[in-house]
Structure 1
Amino acid sequence: MDNNNLNPTSSILIIGAGTWGCSTALHLARRGYTNVKVLDPHPVPSPIAAGNDLNKIMEHKELKESNTDAQSIAYAACTRAALVGWTTDPVFMPYFHETGFIVAGDTPALIQLIQEAEIDQSQGDFEFLGSAGDFQRTMPPGVLTGEFPGWKGWVNRSGAGWIQAAKAMVSVYKEAQRLGVSFLTGPLQGNVKSLVYEDGDVIGALTQDGTTHYAQQTILTAGAGSDRLLDFKKQLRPTAWTLGHIQLTPEEAQKYRNLPVLYNVTKGFLIEPDEDNHELKICDEHPGYCNFVVDPDHQGEIRSVPFAKMQIPLEAEGRARGFLRDTMPHLADRPFSFARICWDTDTIDRAFLIDRHPEHASLVVAVGGSRLGAMQMPSMGGFIADALEGKPQREVKDVFRWRPEIAVNRDWWSTQNRIGGPDKLMNFQDLKDDEWTKIA
């Protein structure tokens, strides 16, 4: 079956109830589809979903007029649509905090790179930060106490800030449910073992409890787990990043309200503490970790296979504390109250992969967040629904297409042009058991 036979009563199966899966369910329900089912091994928000997080960065910048790069145009179209959702849609509005965004570097080369690539005074409210005092004045007294050695940057206070990612995902899930979407979750009834095929087409999915869920259309939005269910011909690489929380007192948390996101392109970033538990999230910056093992699902190739872990490497904790010593030294030695690795999926060019499968007419793939997907939550389901209906927007159609030809000789160790930390991709397999945090 292809999109020509699609109608409001068509049975549609979504595999994966993360950020993109929930968004897709909502958009389909809003477009009048009445027979939508979502499968996931975990309840929403899944503990292993990249979007199940206290907060994520949200930043939209219009392109410089001189930028004609197709991928940049596609990404700008996505974030523009997402910002509309964050600022006008009641499902999302409570979870967007337009507090501003600080981008900085600490070497002359990095500072020049940021200025050339990121800063366009005609497209934002940018203010230059050239000293420690300038950085400190972007936040209430006593929040930023560091010396910011070598740092220079810019603060943009419009169209940027952060989102309450997990709460937004739950909001989307509840609204999709209210509109009639069925969610089946759990290690048996929601855990997809395999896609089900007939005559070369996908006709549904088999779950761990032995049930076959038949569907006229299937949408695969399983994030880092998608590569386990379909041969993506090396287009996907599960890659992980690291985060930690520091517990603040209620009094400290109150002082740290409405802070702009602080991001150093090689050292890390922080976002203000959450309102419920008063935890400050800090991330170190690096090209990512993979878990390279012999993968029986790919003919014994060495591939990155994701796993869940509520700890991070000690080296990542050290990098995060180095970032704090530059910015908030009064917190640099405070114990972490929580930590985890956070998986995403890189395409080879870091552009999303949203397309109807060329060999399986009833399958749409929507994967490859490439660390840029969570902020797209309000609009991403719309782009995926467009692909299902066979009418992708012009700006994204070619950029987000199925493109295995560029991945034939893929270098799994590529940094994907990311920087920070050791400036190389790291492998969890190189770590010993005593080289991880042990946070209770």
Structure 2
Amino acid sequence: MTSSPPQHSSSSSNTNSPSSILIIGSGLFGLTTAYSLSRRHEFANTSITVIDRSDPSSTSTFPSPDAASVDTSRIVRADYADHAYAALCDEAQLQWRQQEKPTDLGAQGRYYETGLVVVGDATTPAPVAAPPVEGDVSESPHKKLTGMDYARKSWENVLSLASHNPVLAERIRELPNVDAIREVLGTGGSSGAWGYINKNSGWTDAGASMAWLVEQVRQTGRVNFVAGTVVSLEHNETTVTGARLSDGRVLTADLVMVAAGAWTGSLVDLEGQAVATGQVLGYLDITEEEQEILGTMPVILNLSSGLFIIPPTNRILKVARHAYGYSNPQSLPIPPLPASPGSTSNPVVSIPRTSLHDPALCIPAEGEADLRAALREMAPLPGLVDRPFTKTRLCWYSDTRTADFLIDYHPYWKNLFVATGDSGHAFKFLPVIGDKITNCILRDCPPEFKEKWAWKEWEGSKVLFTEDGSRGGKPGLILDEELDKAAQILPAV
């Protein structure tokens, strides 16, 4: 990871660093921030504590095994319709590509630059308006992109980023039709009507990369890890002072940072800001012959359907969908921190439901059908499409309306900082996001993200869906309702 950049902003130099920081969550945002804080001179005298709902009997298990950041693979791409995120990943990839030493982030099988095929469908129905919860639903103020819109803007951005380097530019090629997509995919399948291949993109072993990150944090000797489940934030009339755990312990700090991913909404009222959504993933065991064929394919991502396949390793193939997802609305026994001091609320909150506490949990039949469609379209090898999944999983995002992260001080509660809203695309920024979050803590947010990552003015009672053009599936699906429908799925593991 990068060395700490110097601080030039007068706002950062005038900020008094807190004597103690409590970070709730040891996922991507939490751990990268802890690592950055431990190496920044502004926080040389600050005690740093990370708490997560790791198994207390195995306190070395960070992050929790059902966290979104723990998985076999995540796509690493500068292929964004938004130039700011494209440039941020371009910065991160400089470190993903470092593989000379075993301790380098990208070494030991943690990063593979296999290339990425980005495609869109020729005709995409207009996004379905979000159904009302109470009253009418107003339109979002931003322009809704289709998957093809996203793909073409992404194409323009990666070409622009590579224009300064002929070697990188030569690795990006347009795929103007189905036949061109099929040829470069090499599986006998295809997807979409137009696209391109960017051989500068690839994928990372997410579980191994998080294990690497945990080790880097531990080696600093600056970060205290605490295993436990936070059930509420401690506060007085205006200020958050700490966190209460399920076993009755209370941890206090001068600054509390909630980086609990899709669980953040159970601790802080995020109505109008972010919502937890479950996404379907499936894994299949494949033969050695199938490994030889599929192991050489690029990642393929259809931005109209949200379906994608990552090249298999060790004879395990993953197929997934980047979609509107399922919500899991629940009334919580302990309500989250109210939207502002003096207000009271007990909102219904979408919270993750995972196989860690529900071993019999399945993915809904609707989701499995889409994963099967991806196999049929993208990797139509004989016997593969109908092969039973060896395991399935619901991966939980913290979704924002525009897919921008939420990294900001709470506008009404003092000493509370929130870093969430990953929107299913944060992992690729592992090498750089911690320093960016630390800059935000120092009130020196990168200018290109100042508005994107800020706490938004709530737009009124409406259902929140991410509508950046990259999502497939149907909006408005409720997990329990979909699970109640007839399904013959293997249980998640």
The TM tier, using the shorter chain, reads: 0.7 to 0.9
The yes-or-no answer on 1:135 pairing with 2:135 is: no
8 Å CA contact 1:243, 1:341 repeated in 2: yes
**Residues 113/243 of structure 1: CA separation in 2 closer, same or farther (3 Å cut):** same
Match of 1:75 among 85, 103, 107: 85
Query: 1:225: Cα distance to partner?
Result: 0.9
- Judge conservation of contact 2:265–2:350 (CA < 8 Å) in 1: no
* Aligned: 1:292 with 2:301: no
Contact 2:29–2:259 under 8 Å retained in 1: yes
2:352 corresponds to 1:341: no
Structure 1 partner of 2:47: 35
Aligned pairs for 1:351-370 within 5 A: 351-370=404-423
TM-superposition CA deviations, 1:114-140 (whole Å, max 9, x none): 563222244454323345553344355
**CA pair 400-282 structure 1, distance change in 2 beyond 3 A:** same
Deviation at 1:50? 0.8
Partner of 2:188: 145
How many Å separate the matches in 1 of 2:197 and 2:322? 19
1:436–1:45: structure 2 CA closer, same or farther, 3 Å change rule? farther
Whether contact under 8 Å (1:287, 1:419) holds in the other structure is: no
Show CA shifts across 1:217-276 (max 9, x none). Answer: 22110011111112234312111111001112345334433531111223311001134x
Deviates more, 1:28-37 or 1:346-355: 28-37
Q: CA deviation at 1:170?
A: 1.0
Pairing of 1:116-265 with structure 2 (within 5 A)? 116-120=152-156, 121-124=159-162, 125-130=171-176, 133-139=179-185, 144-146=187-189, 148=190, 151-158=193-200, 160-186=201-227, 190-198=228-236, 200-265=238-303
Q: Give the Cα separation in 2 of the matches to 1:136 and 1:103.
A: 12
Give unpaired runs (5+ residues) of structure 1: 64-71
In structure 2, C-alpha distance between the alignment counterparts of 1:162 and 1:230, rounded to whole Å: 32
Alignment-derived partner of residue 44 in structure 1 = 62
Q: Determine which of 414, 432, 437 is the counterpart of 1:384.
A: 437
Q: Deviations over 1:24-76 (max 9, x none)?
A: 1111122254621100012223222111111111111487xxxxxxxx35423
Amino acid of the residue matched to residue 6 of structure 1? Answer: S
| Structure showing the higher helix proportion among its residues | 1
Residue of structure 2 equivalent to 1:269: 308
Write the distance in 2 (CA, Å) between the matches of 1:184 and 1:122.
42
2-structure distance, mates of 1:351, 1:172:
23
**Which one of 343, 357, 378 corresponds to residue 327 of structure 1?**
378
Check 1:114–1:39 CA distance in 2 against 1; reply closer, same or farther (3 A cut): closer
Q: Give the aligned CA root-mean-square deviation in angstroms.
A: 2.8
Structure 2 spans left out of the alignment, 5+ residues = 1-11, 55-60, 125-145, 163-170, 337-344, 356-360
1:399 to 449, 452, 456: 452
**Is the alpha carbon distance of 1:49 and 1:409 closer, same or farther for their aligned partners in structure 2, counting shifts above 3 Å?**
same
Aligned residues: 417
**Conservation of the 8 A alpha-carbon contact between 1:415 and 1:424:** no
Partner Cα separation in structure 2 for residue 62 and residue 84 of structure 1: 17
The answer as to whether partners of 1:218 and 1:364 remain within 8 angstroms in 2 is yes
Which residue of structure 1 aligns with residue 27 of structure 2?
18
Q: Secondary structure at the match of 2:312?
A: coil
Percent identical: 30
Structure 1, 51-60 or 392-401: larger mean CA deviation: 392-401
8 Å contact kept, 2:29–2:433: yes
User: How far off is 1:301 after superposition?
Assistant: 3.8
What is the Cα deviation at residue 196 of structure 1?
1.6
AA of the residue aligned to 2:395: C
Matched, 1:314 2:356: no
Separation in structure 1 between the aligned mates of residue 230 and residue 191 of structure 2, nearest angstrom:
50
| Pair 1:38–1:111, CA change in 2 (3 A) | closer
For the Cα contact (< 8 Å) 1:19–1:51, is it kept in 2? yes
